[in-house]
Amino acid sequence: MAVKYYTDDCSYRLPEKRRTAAWLREVAEAEGYRLGDVNYIFCSAARLLEMNKEFLGHDYFTDIITFDYSDRKGSRVVSGDIFIDVETVADNARIYGATKLQEMRRVVVHGVLHLCGQKDKTPRANAQMHRKEDKYLNFWSL
1-26 pLDDT, tens digit per residue, is: 799 999 999 999 999 999 999 999 99
State the Cα–Cα distance between residues 117 and 122, nearest whole angstrom: 14
Going by the DSSP 8-state scheme, the letter that residue 35 receives in this structure is E
pTM (two decimals) = 0.95
Beta partners for residue 41, in sequence order: 6, 83
Residue 112, CB half-sphere, CA atoms under 13 Å: how many? 30
The predicted pLDDT at position 142 comes to 59
- Picking from 118, 44, 45, the residue whose alpha carbon sits closest to that of residue 80 is 118
The predicted pLDDT at position 71 comes to 81
- Picking from 115, 26, 132, 23, the residue whose alpha carbon sits closest to that of residue 76 is 115
Q: Cβ of 138: how many Cβ atoms within 10 Å? A: 9
Percent pLDDT > 90 in the chain is: 92
pLDDT tens digits for 69-83?
A: 998 788 899 999 999
The predicted pLDDT at position 72 comes to 74
State the Cα–Cα distance between residues 67 and 92, nearest whole angstrom: 22
Q: Which residues of 43-54 are buried (b: 16+ CB within 10 A; e: fewer)?
A: bbbebbbebbee
What is the enclosing helix (H) or strand (E) of 51?
helix 45-51
The predicted pLDDT at position 136 comes to 97
For 108-128, the DSSP string reads HHHHHHHHTT---SSHHHHHH
